[in-house]
Each structure stands twice: as structure tokens, then as C-alpha cells.
Structure 1
Amino acid sequence: MAKIIIISGDLAAGKSVLAKRLSRHYQIPYFSKARFKEILGEKISFEGIDENKNISRSSYALLRHIGWRVAQVKGSVILEANFHTEHLEQIKRDVEFTGHKVELLYLTGDLDVLFERFLYREHYENRHPVHLTHPLRSLEEFENYILKLRNEPEVLPRKMLDTTNCDQEMIFEKALKLIGSLD
């Protein structure tokens, strides 16, 4: 049976890298909220946090639309973002209507390690400006954000994938075991 695979979880846990790798492995498309946000940010000017949030909401709407269309034709796709409760509730309603299967992989990790990755990415990986309007400058701010996300109600069953002390190959192998086949 075809599936919608949702990759969500902590900031800097390796969601995008995993989504790309799974896309190649299963030979199905993946779509990322971050990439949609970058595309929209290049076409629509944004100055402050409110305009940036509007771009984020539009990016989530695009992901939901793709998920809905894929579910209608019983296809498979990977959707990657830091999905919050309201986004997952919408996707859940859509797939319940069509009877489509959804797998939610939730990537977590040690907060100190994730914060180091987050800071490195922010400072050295030439991040798109659309991702830099809401900085998390301290470990405490980062932890509060992550813990709030982790403690949101579980709308869809989470298949937890702890990335602590794992390289990309180990994370990929863990994900394959959690997802199984698309048949």
C-alpha cells in the first residue's frame, strides 16, 4: 500500500537529509516546508516576523495540498517539516477521508548536540534569510522551543527515531526499519 511518509521532529536532527535519502531509496518525491519557504521568500518580500510567519503558513498549506492530492490518487510521497499539532490534524483529516496510510517519523536527539548543529548551520552553512528572522540564541531558548514541540499532543502515532550518537547511515537504517516497505 502506498504511504505518505511524514518526517518531523527536533530542529537540526537531520530531517532534510533523511527525507532526501528516503526519497532516493523508495524512488518517490519529497517536499520540504523549508524549501517552499525559501522559494516564497524569494518572490514575496518579508521584513518582520509576522510576514515571515505568513510565508511559513503558506508553505505548510502547500505541503498539505500535496499530501491531499497524493492521497487521492493512492500514491506515495515524503513531507518534511517541523509539523505542529494543527498541521498534523489537517493531514489526519485528509487521509482519513481517503483511507490512505501515513507514517510519521519523529527525529529527536540530545539537546546539547542539536543546539551545536543548529548554531553551526545558522552561522556557517549560508542559511537562506527566510530562516533567520526568529533566532534562538541561547541553549535555554532552544530547549524551550524543542520541548514545547515534543510535548504537543500526538495527533498521529509517532515512530520515534533518536539520532543521538548516530551517523547518517545509522539514521537511514533505523528509518527503513520503522517505515518498512511501500507495498
Structure 2
Amino acid sequence: MSTLYIVAGLPGTGKTTLSEYLQRELGVPLFCKDKMKEILFDVVGFQSPQGKEQLDRASTEILYYDARHCLEAGGDAMIESNFKACDLPDVEKLAGEFGCRCVTLYLTGDLRAIFDRLCARNHAPDRHPAHAIDDHYPLLPGESDPATILEDWDEFEAMVTSWEVEKFHLGPVVTVDTTDFSKVDFPSVLAELRACLQ
């Protein structure tokens, strides 16, 4: 039976770092929504917040498309995204198509710590700049980076409330507190994940 590994949680909780570790240890194909979105940023670009939202929706569909083909071939797949409660029916449908088992890895923690990490990440040199830009990308020649988005605490809290990420889960759930990401025990998370599937 195929397994669909689902890595979920708010932005800035460390989903990509942890999922890349799990990919190496489990030998499972990993599909990260942000990586797909970055390709669309560079190839297609956007000229408005609405255009950016379209790329977000497109990257979600590509995520499901790629995972679907792995499951259809009888293999396992791992999908990583900041899944919201409203995404649950689509992922349930994906899993139901092939009768695969699911396990959710949910990353959470102190909201203030996550917010601070998210703000710092917006300015990290290895972070794609378009994630933190709302109105247009690519930038015009000589144009400086516009003000970044999601660096207002009240807006962040409103986003957290509206997304209801804590309600997204499918199958057994392994919850990981990433308030201090340096203290996350990766091998223990892997062991707990494997135990859920025995």
C-alpha cells in the first residue's frame, strides 16, 4: 500500500528543512509547493496581488499532479505546504483515489517565535525574494525591493486565524514543536513517523 506523507504547518515552522531530511532517510519523492512556486515566479512572474494568487493556486495543482503520479504508480509520495483547513477535501480526494494510507507531520510552536523567524527569513539571501513581495515580480532594472509582506503582527495573527492550519490533518498526526528549531530531534521525529505506519 502506498503512503502519502503530508508535512503541514504555518510558514516559518521549518517544514522544508525537516521534509528534506525525511526525504533522504525514507527515500520518498518530495514535492514542495514553495519550490514549484519559485519556478513560476521566475518563468511567469506576476504584476498584481491577484496574479501572485493565481501562481499560488497553480503551484498547488502541480503539487497534487506530481504526487498523484507517484501514487498511481504504486509508490509513496511526500507533499509539503502550509496547508489550510480548506485544503483538506482536495488532499482527501487525492489519497482516496488510490486508497493509500496517510500520515501528517504537523509543525507548530509559539506564534511570536514563528513570526520573528518568518520576518528574518524574508530578508535571508537564500530566500526567493518574490515570497515577500506582493505587487509584482520580477523587479524592474534598478528598482529596489518593495516593502515586504507579512511583517505586521496583527496581519500575521489574522492570517493564522483564517487559515485554521491546526484543523488540517489526515491519518495519524505527528506534532513537532519548532519554537526553537535547533532543539528539534530529527531522528526522533523520523522514528515516531515510522511507528505511525506499523
User: Which amino acid in structure 1 is aligned with residue 159 of structure 2?
Assistant: Y
Determine the structure 2 residue equivalent to 1:116: 116
Q: Provide the rounded CA distance (Å) in 2 between the counterparts of 1:115 and 1:84.
A: 17
Determine the structure 2 residue equivalent to 1:173: 187
Which ranges of structure 1 fall in alignment gaps of 5 or more residues? none
Q: Provide the rounded CA distance (Å) in 2 between the counterparts of 1:10 and 1:177.
A: 23
SS at match of 2:74: coil
> Residues 168 and 26 from structure 1, CA distance in 2 versus in 1: closer, same or farther, beyond 3 angstroms?
farther
Determine the structure 2 residue equivalent to 1:141: 155
Which of 174, 178, 186 is equivalent to 1:163?
A: 178
Identity fraction in percent: 29
Aligned residues: 182
Deviating more after overlay: 50-59 vs 129-138? 129-138
Task: Give the 4+ runs in structure 1 shifted more than 6 A.
Answer: none
Normalized against structure 1, the TM-score is what? 0.88
Whether the 8 Å CA contact 2:85–2:165 is kept in 1: the answer is no
Normalized against structure 2, the TM-score is what? 0.82
Is the radius of gyration larger for structure 1 or structure 2? 2
Determine the structure 2 residue equivalent to 1:16: 16
User: What are the superposed Cα offsets for residues 124-178 of structure 1, whole Å, 9 maximum, x if unpaired?
Assistant: 33432331234112222222222332356445244322212342651x2342133
Determine the structure 1 residue equivalent to 2:101: 101
User: What are the superposed Cα offsets for residues 40-88 of structure 1, whole Å, 9 maximum, x if unpaired?
Assistant: 1111130111000110101000111122212212211211111123433
Aligned runs of 1:14-93 on 2, under 5 Å? 14-93=14-93
Whether the 8 Å CA contact 1:48–1:133 is kept in 2: the answer is no
Whether the 8 Å CA contact 2:104–2:169 is kept in 1: the answer is no
Which ranges of structure 2 fall in alignment gaps of 5 or more residues? 135-148
Q: Provide the rounded CA distance (Å) in 1 between the counterparts of 2:115 and 2:188.
A: 22
Determine the structure 1 residue equivalent to 2:130: 130
Whether the 8 Å CA contact 2:105–2:174 is kept in 1: the answer is yes
> Residues 174 and 147 from structure 1, CA distance in 2 versus in 1: closer, same or farther, beyond 3 angstroms?
farther
Determine the structure 2 residue equivalent to 1:150: 164
Determine the structure 1 residue equivalent to 2:146: none
Q: Provide the rounded CA distance (Å) in 2 between the counterparts of 1:124 and 1:95.
A: 35
Aligned residues: CA RMSD:
2.2
User: Which amino acid in structure 2 is aligned with residue 54 of structure 1?
Assistant: Q
